[in-house]
Amino acid sequence: MQPSRDLRRLIEIMAALRDPKGGCPWDLEQTFASIVPFTIEEAYEVADAIERGDAEDLREELGDLLLQVVFHARMAEEAGLFDFGGVVEAITEKLIRRHPHVFGDARDLDSEAVKALWGRIKADEKRARAETRARAGLDPEPAPGALGGVPKTMPALTRAAKLQEKAAKVGFDWDDVGGVVAKLREEIAEAEAEIEAGAKEKLAAEIGDLLFAAVNLARFVEVEPEAALRGANAKFERRFSHIERRLAERGRRPEGASLDQMEALWQEAKALERRER
């Protein structure tokens, strides 16, 4: 079989991999649930390639992510639920419906007007789903509440920000950034109290509150917390690598150096970064 730029060939390959008579044993064993971790992992690898600015790697990772979509669609087709064409139809229909300022009559809107329009369209979609269920004799979907629609499988940091955004939309938010900073300090004090008390279970809860408050601060000042933490991770890796390189020049390793020595090299890395800016 030859490689191809044709999407149909990818769908055919996936069907062959899932063929009960001559397919791949591993692919045949998979279910929607079993490949969820791979789907999530591939999305992260796409984000990583973008973060590194590696276009060739991005091309490959986008292919891996597309494979996950084709894989899920193939299993759905086997179960008589929908096929890949149905997935494409659903997203194209949604894009056209949610962009009347591009594909319809609502023209010359600024970004705020587009956001307001988007909200109204989503509300209309929700009502239409309820009517469809009623006509089919199905029970109505349970009311999700103001915080509904945030996937529980989403990374905790991102999910915290999404929950806070939804609460803020109905007025449950701080008046100003000073209140958010005060709450962050309060949570630090409460964590310190549990450290002194040696209460490990309570400390875990306080650390959670502290992280939640930090995310709230990021959201309030319009900093994307996941991106901010990725930046902090990259900074830590960069500076620690500097420590390792400098120690290696002296024939040493971090485990053989004192904390004071490593701290001095950490400060050296920071100084180099400031000079390079």
Which CATH superfamily hosts domain 7-98?
A: MazG-like (1.10.287.1080)
Closest CA to 213 of 191, 197, 195, 233: 191
Q: Which of 8-12, 90-94, 145-149, 210-214 has the lowest mean pLDDT?
A: 145-149
Cα–Cα distance for residue pair 51/49, rounded to 1 Å? 5
pLDDT of 106 higher than 90: no
Cα–Cα distance for residue pair 187/207, rounded to 1 Å? 8
Residue with tokens 């020049």: 249
Over residues 110-162, the pLDDT tens digits come to 888 888 888 888 888 888 888 888 888 877 776 678 888 888 888 899 999 99
Cα–Cα distance for residue pair 191/171, rounded to 1 Å? 28
Quote the pLDDT of residue 113. 86
pLDDT of 80 higher than 80: yes
Instruction: Pull the structure tokens for residue 143.
Output: 């009311």
Decide yes or no: CATH 1.10.1060.10 for domain 156-223.
Answer: no
Quote the pLDDT of residue 3. 74
Cβ atoms of 49 and 58 within 8 Å: the answer is yes
**What average pLDDT does the chain have?**
92
Name 145's Cβ contacts closer than 8 Å, sequence gap at least 6.
none
Quote the pLDDT of residue 247. 96
Mean pLDDT of 191-203: 93
Instruction: Pull the structure tokens for residue 185.
Output: 């300090």
Instruction: State the DSSP code for 108.
Output: S
Mean pLDDT of 47-75: 95
* Same fold? 7-98, 156-223: yes
Cβ neighbour number for residue 161 with a 10 Å cutoff: 22
Name 36's Cβ contacts closer than 8 Å, sequence gap at least 6.
153
Cβ atoms of 139 and 190 within 8 Å: the answer is no
Quote the pLDDT of residue 1. 65
Quote the pLDDT of residue 229. 93
User: Could you tell me where the DSSP H helices lie in 19-172?
Assistant: 25-29, 32-52, 55-78, 84-98, 100-103, 111-135, 156-169
Cα–Cα distance for residue pair 44/46, rounded to 1 Å? 5
Over residues 9-46, the pLDDT tens digits come to 999 999 999 999 999 999 999 999 999 989 999 999 99
Mean pLDDT of 231-243: 95
| pTM of the complete model | 0.71
Quote the pLDDT of residue 105. 81
Give domain limits for the chain: 7-98, 105-142, 156-223, 227-276
Closest CA to 159 of 174, 148, 171: 148
73: Cα within 13 Å, side-chain hemisphere: 20
